[in-house]
Structure 1
Amino acid sequence: MPDSGGPHDNQPFSHLKRVLADSPLLVNGFDRQGRCILWNHECERLFGWCLEELLAHPDPLALFYPDPEQRQAVKDTFNEQAGSCFREWQPLTRQGRPLPSLWANIALPNGELVCIGHDLSEQKRAETQLQLAARVFECSYDGIMITDARNHILRVNPAVSQITGYAVEELQGHSPALLSSGRHDAGFYEAMWHSLKTRDHWRGEIWNRRKNGEVYPQLLAISALRDRQGQASHYVAVFSDISQLKADTAELEHIAQYDALTGIPNRRLLADRLIHAMARAKRQGSPLAVCYLDLDGFKQINDEHGHPAGDQLLIEISRRLKAILRQNDTLARLGGDEFVLLFAELQQERDLDPILTRVLDAVAGPVTINDRQVQVSASIGVTLYPHDNVGADLLLQHADQAMYQAKQGGKNRYQLYDLRQHARQLSRHHQLQALDQALRNREFVLYYQPKVDLLNGRVIGMEALIRWQHPERGLQVPAAFLYQLTGTRLEWKLAQWELNSVLQQIDDWQQQGLELAISLNVGADQLLLPDFVEQLAATLRRYPRVPPARLELEFQEIAAIRHLEQVTRVLERCHRLGVQIILDDFGTGYSSLSSLRQLPLDMLKIDKSFIGDMLTNDEDLSLVNCVLYLARTFHHPVLAEGVESPELGAELLRLGCHFAQGYGIAAPMPAEQVPDWIRGWHEQALWTDLQSRFNPPDPGLVAD
């Protein structure tokens, strides 16, 4: 027990200390010199000092009241006659925190003093909370209303008067029904009271009436307060006027759903109306026309007269189109000069013709802007639902596609969507998906066809030819699938795969001691890509052991003729990388002599269509002679494609062409078969037999 012994103890005081030691009150004592003689457990708990520390301190009051004036004021109360009256003090705890408390001093006969205190901390906090609650009640922008159990208004805050227009005195004692708007039926209020009785709260939107008669929306929350017996004693309602919020929301909804320039529905509202129109068309069994309209010549007006003039034109066109609409039709602007019209409840498809004619006439009429007349026309694409039985997004896509056909067909017209064309497009889409999947599944392979020198049997290189190892249809040649890739991203992805595969194959063969060049076919679309040369250079850098000259790019003659200057610049840059350039199918594109002089060529390939019949067709033989003559003129080596027989090889040697390729030499083969074929080709020495079938030509005639 924290008490003290010593000369100041006497039996009655010692007994009192033992009684007060465990008291829930704060109890301490001081002698005439101000030294602590009593310090109970509650003091120790709240203040943090133990009795021994206080006994050792010459002036313990200085710990609780470090301010000398305050400490003296406390000491002065020790000597007052009415010392037993309670006074409020705030002594400091060991942590330096003021402890609000009430103290009464009791003087003992021996001159010592007992101080009895009561901690006011909780009371002070409660008072603060009450003051805060009262302040919140008075200052809240939300209306707060308190009623009794019989629903009579007891108290309201100032915000209630500001919102409703009623003074506090006009509301007190009345029922909140005074504010009722009359818009809600009995069922609404029955549901409210049922929620209050069963869940003690209700929250929702409600329409009430101000004193001036104005009806306005409230967001209202009501809570039921219950007494200890569980009976409802009061109801507290908190509400806010949401008139402005409603107005702002309506304005935002209008902005979100209507075009700011023309005031007609935008894409978002169109989507909603289209879905409803489709449901109504299916329900009623009547066609719905979805029309995609694009203005012809609008950009020119914008450029010549400025954007404000363009905006005025769009506003006038929208006004004219709205005048054509019937009750259930819709006009929407998607943006720019693009509009969508929905014509519903058509009895039959031909009912649409006069409507669209009026639309075209309305758009094509002159418009006066800034005292000047301007004129545009419209291209309209149309699809009919449910004949075109797809979803809303696809309906718009189909109408858009038909609109582009209308533009291509001459503009100022409308075009119905062709479902058969869509079927073809869908089929192509599925085929492209299959090809993309084939690339990811590594189903494409490269076959290699040898190119040889018939004079000495040397294998001068290989041409890489792509194949598709289809899991169900087997090995597919390029003609079965490559045409589907033209102009697509997949075409470039596949070309990149081919290039990497060819360079890797050159590297692999080099490791086996085979120094073979490989030619790779590139299309016009690839050559005309802005970064074709950069991509090629980057790929070559990934294979540092491969000499660039081992890579040969073959391009068709027609690509050079159509884009001669651009192709020439690209090929020159490729040439500077060290890559060899071969003109494929020479003779089919009617190249001019100037194009032959401009292009940086390392070899020409005579198209196989001339080679195949030259033994029996004098015209083909003459063409081959002419090509060889041109090649000699421009000092370009020539390789003949389509050499299918030894006789063709012998005739080509007679004409002076000794580079050849074709099934008569070897069919395209997988890479792993190439080394064995080369060994067999050299062992059989077939070129010796060819030389014995003709008289060697004049060395000056050989196109090497």
Structure 2
Amino acid sequence: MSSAKELAARWADALDGIVAPTLTRTQIESVLAGLAAELLAALTADDGVETARLAASTLVAVNYRDEAAVSRSVAFICRDLVAASCPSGADRERVRERAITLAAEFAAGFTAALRTAALSEQESTLTAALAAVREAEKQRQLSEARFEAIFDGASVGIGTIDVRTGTVLEVNAAFADMLGVPAERIPGRTVVDILGVGNLGPAFGEFQQLLLGVNDRFRMETEITRPDGSHTTIDLSMSAVHDAEGRMRFLIGVAVDVTERKALADRLWHDAHHDNLTGLANRMLFFDRLAHATPPIGLCYLDLDGFKEVNDDYGHTVGDQVLAVVAARLRAAAGGDGLVARLGGDEFIVLVEHCADEDRLVDLSARLLSALTEPITIAGQAISVGASAGTTLVPRRPEAVDDLMHTVDKAMYRDKSRRQRPRPRSPQGL
């Protein structure tokens, strides 16, 4: 088994060149050695998934903030750590499943850590800007010089608005770039005139509440369509600035462009909640949807007949291709009736919310089974796979998802036991 030190060196090599970290190579390997040791322990334990999130936040803390750090670290967890944990192949499948769980937690932790870091920087900028503005009332010349330096040089967008007219007083270059409008064309115009009411969306109502003095501040994430048709997502904070007598003097807004961060978060969320082979929802997403499903809840469970023989006769590569085709057919057959998920191996399940009655599930089950009647052609070979299906209708959702799944398991397997399970075809019949 590879030592934590050797694994740390491989991990550091994988991360090399992504960004200039705040530590030396020796220090990085020391940090990664500790993380690799904890992740190795988590691979063979029943708990400790939080270790993956801690590893992700540690990488962000030492300035690994590029999305490549996620993909390379996920590959390291699923390849290098699995190989180091079970070089002989014993329990390899269980360890691989555990590695996938740790990789998903690592991706989620990386996104959360990135967001926390970005919000912290935004709050620091807003605090500095507000402090400089208040100081301007007491020591105008010195404070105005400081604010101007912050205003012009900030990497986040900053703008001020006249509360009497609702027009923009000043806006820095970073904010103008986010809006896609030249900075010199913004002062003296209202926000509505610059962007349009429809473009502001929910922010328009909040902005009006500020001007009317109903609220003192608001913060939200909003998407803006630029004049050239491109889109940008910004995290916007606006606050009312008052003088010593409590009168509102102007509004100040601070914006952070989170377009790339949001796209990365969406991509990581999708990867963590979908099966990478079939593109269907995975166990994590299925159980999350099940926990929040609106009764009556219909479930149609399927497992393939004779799939082991497909793997034995044609190999796992062909088997994977068969699973991908099966998934596509099940998705098409289900249509918009429910969420199709792959639970693992050759097991699939469809969740239907607001399921009116058993007849709807029987019809769905028939469509799903019918979709698998035609042979699947892979590399010139016509391969036939059947399926067994069980259905259940749950009228009420218990508070605990475990209780619901226990009820579902009993009902589904009772339903399946009443069916005539087809005998797997011989290799010659595939």
Partner of 1:392: 404
TM-superposed deviation, 1:353: 5.3
Letter in 2 for 1:314: L
How far has the Cα of 1:131 moved from its partner? 6.4
**Structure 1's 404 and 127: CA in aligned 2 closer, same or farther, altered over 3 A?**
farther
CA distance in 1 between partners of 2:173 and 2:261 (Å): 21
What is the alpha-carbon distance in structure 1 between the residues aligned to residue 345 and residue 195 of structure 2?
Answer: 49
Contact 1:179 1:208 in 2 (8 A): no
What is the Cα deviation at residue 404 of structure 1?
A: 7.3
Relative contact order, CA 8 A, sep 6+: which one is greater? 2
1:50-106 Cα deviation digits (max 9, x unpaired): xxxxxxxxxxxxxxxxxxxxxxxxxxxxxxxxxxxxxxxxxxxxxxxxxxxxxxxxx
Q: Of the candidates 252, 259, 272, which is equivalent to residue 236 of structure 1?
A: 252
Contact 1:210–1:216 under 8 Å retained in 2: yes
Q: Which residue of 2 aligns with 1:312?
A: 321
In structure 2, the residue matched to 1:248 is 264
Distance 1:236 1:351, change over 3 A: closer
SS at match of 2:265: helix
DSSP 3-state at the match of 2:349: strand
From the superposition, tell whether residues 394 and 140 of structure 1 become closer, same or farther in structure 2 (CA, over 3 Å).
Answer: same
1:147/1:234 contact within 8 Å kept: yes
Instruction: Give runs of aligned pairs for residues 186-201 of structure 1, distance below 5 A.
Output: 189-195=204-210, 197=213, 200-201=216-217
Out of 158, 165, 180, the position equivalent to 2:180 is 165
Mind listing any 5+ residue stretches in structure 2 that lack a counterpart? Answer: 1-139, 425-430
> For residues 146-157 of structure 1, what are the structure 2 equivalents within 5 Å?
146-150=160-164, 151-157=166-172
The 1:399/1:253 distance shift into structure 2, 3 A limit, reads farther
> How far apart in 1 are the matches of 2:397 and 2:232?
48
- CA offsets per residue over residues 83-135 of structure 1, 9 Å max, x none? xxxxxxxxxxxxxxxxxxxxxxxxxxxxxxxxxxxxxxxxxxx9998766544
Note the aligned Cα RMSD (angstroms).
4.0
- Residue 346 and residue 238 in structure 1: after superposition, are their counterparts in 2 closer, same or farther (change >3 A)? closer
Task: Tell me the CA shift for residue 256 of structure 1.
Answer: 3.7
How far apart are the structure 1 equivalents of 2:407 and 2:219? Answer: 43
Residues 340-355 of structure 1: matches in 2 within 5 Å?
340-342=349-351, 349=358
Contact kept in structure 1, 2:160 and 2:170, CA below 8 Å: yes
Q: Return closer, same or farther for 1:291/1:165 CA change in 2, 3 Å cut-off.
A: closer
Distance (Å, rounded) in 1 between the aligned partners of 2:150 and 2:382: 66
The answer as to whether partners of 2:397 and 2:404 remain within 8 angstroms in 1 is no
* One-letter code aligned to 1:152: T
- Following superposition, the deviation at residue 311 of structure 1 comes to 1.3
Closer, same or farther: CA 212–354 of 1 in aligned 2, 3 Å: closer
Confirm or deny: 8 A CA contact 2:158 2:174 kept in the other structure: yes
Q: Residue 382 in 1 paired to residue 384 in 2?
A: no
After superposition, give the CA deviation of every residue in 1:176-227 in whole Å (9 maximum; x if it has no partner): 3333342279986454343563553222233444343555432211222223
Q: What do residues 476-501 of structure 1 show as CA deviations (whole Å, max 9, x unaligned)?
A: xxxxxxxxxxxxxxxxxxxxxxxxxx
8 Å CA contact 2:362–2:391 kept in 1: the answer is no
1:143 aligns with 2:157: yes
SS in 1 for 2:406: helix
Q: Distance in 2 between matches of 1:266 and 1:356?
A: 20
Question: Aligned equivalents of 2:396 and 2:205: distance in 1?
Answer: 51
Matches within 5 A, 1:468-547: none
Shift in CA distance, 256/182, structure 1 to aligned 2, threshold 3 Å? farther
Distance in 2 separating the partners of 1:332 and 1:312: 17
Measured in 1, the distance between the counterparts of 2:253 and 2:359 equals 63
- CA apart distance, 1:272: 5.0
Measured in 2, the distance between the counterparts of 1:398 and 1:174 equals 66
In structure 2, relative to structure 1, the CA distance for the partners of 1:128 and 1:313 (3 Å cut) is: farther
> Structure 1 residues 385 and 360, CA, compared in 2 at 3 Å: closer, same or farther?
same
Task: Provide the rounded CA distance (Å) in 2 between the counterparts of 1:380 and 1:325.
Answer: 14
Question: Partner of 1:262: helix, strand, or coil?
Answer: coil
Q: Which amino acid aligns with 1:242?
A: V
Structure 1 234/329 Cα, relative in aligned 2: closer, same or farther at 3 Å? closer
CA contact (8 A) 2:199 2:224 kept: no
Q: How does 1:24-423 map to 2 (within 5 A)?
A: 133-150=147-164, 151-183=166-198, 189-195=204-210, 197=213, 200-212=216-228, 214=230, 216-274=232-290, 279=295, 281=296, 289-342=298-351, 349=358, 356-386=365-395, 392-399=404-411, 401-402=413-414, 405=417, 410-411=421-422
User: In 2, distance between residues paired with 1:227 and 1:410?
Assistant: 79
The structure-2 alpha-carbon separation of the partners of 1:262 and 1:128, relative to structure 1 and needing over 3 Å to count, comes to farther
Paired position in structure 1 for 2:70:
none
Residue of structure 2 equivalent to 1:607: none
Q: Distance in 2 between matches of 1:241 and 1:307?
A: 44
CA distance in 2, matches of 1:367, 1:185: 50
Cα gap change, 1:367 to 1:399, in 2 (>3 Å):
farther
Q: Which amino acid aligns with 2:150?
A: V
Distance in structure 1 (CA, Å) of the matches to 2:397 and 2:256: 51
Q: Identify if the C-alpha distance between structure 1 residues 375 and 189 changes in structure 2 by more than 3 Å, giving closer, same or farther.
A: closer
Tell me the secondary structure at the aligned position of residue 342 of structure 2. strand
Q: What is the CA-CA distance between 1:276 and the residue it aligns to?
A: 6.4
Query: Secondary structure at the residue paired with 1:261?
Result: coil
1:147/1:385 CA distance change after superposition, 3 Å: closer
- Hey, what's the Cα distance between the residues in 2 that align with 1:344 and 1:147? 47
Shift of 1:397: 2.0
CA distance in structure 1 between the aligned counterparts of 2:269 and 2:196, rounded to whole angstroms? 26
How far does residue 143 in structure 1 lie from its aligned partner after superposition? 0.9
What corresponds to 2:11 in structure 1? none
- Conserved in 1, the CA contact under 8 Å of 2:186 and 2:194? no
Gaps of 5+ in 1: 1-125, 282-287, 414-704
AA matched with 2:198: R
Task: Report if aligned partners of 2:298, 2:391 keep a CA contact under 8 Å in 1.
Answer: yes
Q: Which amino acid aligns with 1:142?
A: V
Q: What residue number does 2:42 align with?
A: none
- Kept in 1, the 8 Å contact 2:210–2:240? The answer is no
CA spacing shift, 1:399–1:331, aligned 2, 3 Å: farther
What do the CA deviations read for 1:374-410 (whole angstroms, capped 9, x no partner)? 2333233333333999953224422553477479x65
- Judged with a 3 Å threshold, the aligned counterparts in structure 2 of structure 1 residues 308 and 174 are, in CA distance, closer, same or farther, namely same
Contact 1:364 1:378 in 2 (8 A): no
- 1: CA distance, partners of 2:352 / 2:243: 65
Instruction: Give the Cα–Cα distance (whole angstroms) in 1 for the partners of residues 201 and 330 of structure 2.
Output: 47
CA offsets, 1:204-257, max 9 Å, x none? 233444343555432211222223333222322111233333333333343344
Bigger radius of gyration among the two? 1
How far apart, CA to CA, are the structure 1 residues paired with 2:396 and 2:231?
Answer: 50
Q: Residue in 1 aligned with 2:63? A: none
Indicate how the Cα distance of structure 1 residues 207 and 290 shifts in structure 2: closer, same or farther if over 3 A, else same: closer
Say whether the 8 Å CA contact 1:146–1:155 is kept in structure 2: yes
Cα gap change, 1:276 to 1:328, in 2 (>3 Å): farther
Distance 2:382 2:310 in 1: 11
What percent of counterpart residues are identical?
31
Residue 198 of structure 2 aligns to a residue in which SS?
Answer: coil
CA gap of 1:254–1:406, structure 2 versus 1, over 3 A, is farther
TM-score (norm 2): 0.54
Given that 1:144 and 1:236 are in contact with CA atoms closer than 8 Å, whether structure 2 keeps it comes out as yes
Pair 175,360 (structure 1): closer, same or farther in 2 beyond 3 Å: closer
